[in-house]
């Protein structure tokens, strides 16, 4: 059986990120919805998207730069 620790680390990071997003959106907005109502929960979703979209753009740009550097170093 082959052990690929880099693949395991990548899989773990993806699962942790998915858990973070699940907790932030479902549990966080669920509590807002329960305590303050539907309109406050909608504002919570808008605020979370305003937070996560720029962060995801930065991560995406860094991912693309990493791919370009790896491709350039391969030649």
Query: pLDDT value at position 3?
Result: 86
Query: Taking a C-beta distance cutoff of 8 angstroms, is the pair 64, 41 a contact?
Result: no
Query: pLDDT value at position 1?
Result: 57
3-class SS of residue 75:
coil
What is the residue extent of each domain of the chain? 5-74
Residues of the chain where predicted confidence (pLDDT) is lower than 70: 1, 75
pLDDT in tens, 20-36: 989 989 999 999 999 99
Query: pLDDT value at position 43?
Result: 96
Query: pLDDT value at position 16?
Result: 95
């Amino acid at each position: 059986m082959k052990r690929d620790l880099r693949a395991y680390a990548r899989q773990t990071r993806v699962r942790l990120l998915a858990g973070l997003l699940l907790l932030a959106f479902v549990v966080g907005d669920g509590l807002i919805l329960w305590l303050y109502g539907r309109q406050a929960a909608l504002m919570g979703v808008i605020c979370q998207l305003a937070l996560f979209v720029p962060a995801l753009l930065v991560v995406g740009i860094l991912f693309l730069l990493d791919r370009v550097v790896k491709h350039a170093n391969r030649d």
